[in-house]
Amino acid sequence: MSRQLAAVPLESLVTAVARLKASYATAGLDYAPVQAILEAVGPAKDSVYAAYQAMIESEATLRPAWLSVLPRGRRALRDALTADAGECFRRAGAFDDQPAVEVVAFLDRLANLARAQANLPLVESGRHAERLSFEYELALCADMPGAPIVEWVALDDNSAGYDILSSRLVEGHPLPKLVEVKSCRERPLRLIITRNEWDTACRHPEAYVVHFWDLSAERLHELSWGDLQPHMPVDQGDARWDSATLSLKRLHGI
């Protein structure tokens, strides 16, 4: 269809579809998906490569099956494609022995889209756990005299090193409580502590806690700085750790 539009530059997409249907009435071709893609991305492109890349990227937003394997590389992608889809990728330059810089960038954009979609359930689970902790802390502070409003910090700043600013009662006075929220549905239960989170915890060891939610049962485990500290890594020489994966079984006997 792109070639037909190029041959008659002033022809509308609807007219081109009608003409092709009339010319190939018995071919059994379905022009509706192609028409929808061309309406979204436009038929005019600088090159054949660019035209096919634009159509493939439009299709990728519909989460086709091949998208999930693309981060594993071109070999896995080629194996997952139908013959027609493989031909589209070939015409987009994806399988060239020495792909151009623009083609590699195109493949990287698709891979990033695949990773983002794969991470979406984790993001949703994390937000759900944060809401559980936020509501939990609201209930705790409701009857705490003089307690400030509980703040869902992570909604505005995810670099603070904690997710919720709440209060704890010490000798009858409300003091800050910094809550970092973690969650897991799988077994064994594990949590990841980043360097920024741990540095924040070490600056406020009395105030810092980790809320770890076992989302399979919506059960909360609250871990203090003292619970975490014996299990945290230490820097060696010029090497600095960035994140640590901890087993809740070892931390909390679960």
Number of domains within the chain: 2
Is 12 found in the same domain as 103?
A: yes
Q: Helix, strand, or coil here: 223?
A: strand
Is 173 found in the same domain as 74?
A: no
Answer yes or no: are the C-beta atoms of 128 and 85 closer than 8 Å: no
Q: What are 121's two structure tokens? A: 């359930």
Is 132 found in the same domain as 82?
A: no
Q: Which domain holds residue 202?
A: 125-252
Q: Which one-letter DSSP state was computed for residue 150? A: P
**Segment 151-168, tens digit of pLDDT:** 999 999 989 999 999 999
Q: Which one-letter DSSP state was computed for residue 70? A: G
Query: Which one of 118, 150, 176 terminates a domain?
Result: 118
Distance CA 208, CA 228 (A): 11
Is 157 found in the same domain as 98?
A: no
Q: Across all residues in the chain, what is the average pLDDT?
A: 85
**Segment 175-219, tens digit of pLDDT:** 999 999 999 988 888 999 999 999 999 999 999 999 999 998 889
Is 158 found in the same domain as 41?
A: no
Is 229 found in the same domain as 131?
A: yes
At 82, phi and psi to the nearest 5? -70, 170
Is 130 found in the same domain as 107?
A: no
Q: Is the pLDDT of residue 110 over 80?
A: yes
Is 61 found in the same domain as 28?
A: yes
Is 209 found in the same domain as 105?
A: no
- Of the listed ranges 117-126, 133-142, 215-224, the least confidently predicted one is 117-126
Is 111 found in the same domain as 14?
A: yes
Is 247 found in the same domain as 182?
A: yes
- Name residue 202's amino acid: C
Measured in residues, the chain has a length of 254
Q: Is the pLDDT of residue 18 over 80?
A: no
